[in-house]
């Protein structure tokens, strides 16, 4: 049972690292290929200091790797599964949105809108 607790705590830490829009943007752009900090900062409109904080979180969770090349650090995803995980969550959200829209449309045909009631 204790192993399960540790495992779920690790899952939670990874999801916490993913739980920021700017970090998801970083993952999106790194999914296209490795980039240096300047390129990432420009793409997502962040200061280098702010970007550095987000990259530190992603590196600490093992989602992003930094490779030094002279004075530059080139960032890349540690695994294609990082991007795949984000895509799975995106698809889940899109499915939920579609279901909600379909439900709203179905309800609109059964339950008249307030404007129609107020006549």
Domain ranges of the chain: 2-78
For 24-72, the pLDDT digits (tens) are 999 999 999 999 999 999 999 999 999 999 999 999 999 999 999 888 8
Contact partners, residue 65, CB within 8 Å, separation at least 6 = 59, 75, 76, 77, 78
Q: What is the CATH number of domain 2-78?
A: 1.10.10.10
* Predicted local confidence at residue 117, as pLDDT: 46
Q: Residue 43: CB partners within 8 Å, gap ≥ 6?
A: 25, 29, 35
Report the pLDDT value the prediction gives residue 88, as an integer from 0 to 100.
94
Q: What is the pLDDT of residues 79-106, one digit of tens each?
A: 999 999 999 999 999 899 888 888 888 8
Nearest to 18 by CA among 90, 73, 74: 90
Question: Which pTM does this prediction carry?
Answer: 0.80
Token pair in block for residue 13: 């830490």
Backbone angles phi, psi at 112, to 5 degrees: -60, 150
């Amino acid at each position: 049972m204790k192993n399960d607790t540790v495992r779920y705590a690790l899952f939670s830490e990874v999801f916490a690292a993913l739980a920021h829009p700017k970090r998801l943007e970083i993952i999106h752009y790194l999914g296209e290929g490795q980039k240096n900090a300047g390129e990432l900062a420009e793409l997502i409109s962040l200061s280098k200091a702010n970007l550095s904080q987000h990259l530190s979180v992603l590196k600490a969770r093992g989602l992003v790797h930094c490779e030094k090349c002279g004075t530059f650090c080139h960032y890349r995803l540690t695994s294609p599964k990082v991007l795949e995980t984000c895509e799975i969550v995106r698809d889940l959200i899109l499915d939920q949105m579609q279901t909600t829209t379909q439900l709203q449309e179905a309800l609109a045909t059964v339950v008249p809108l307030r404007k129609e009631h107020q006549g």
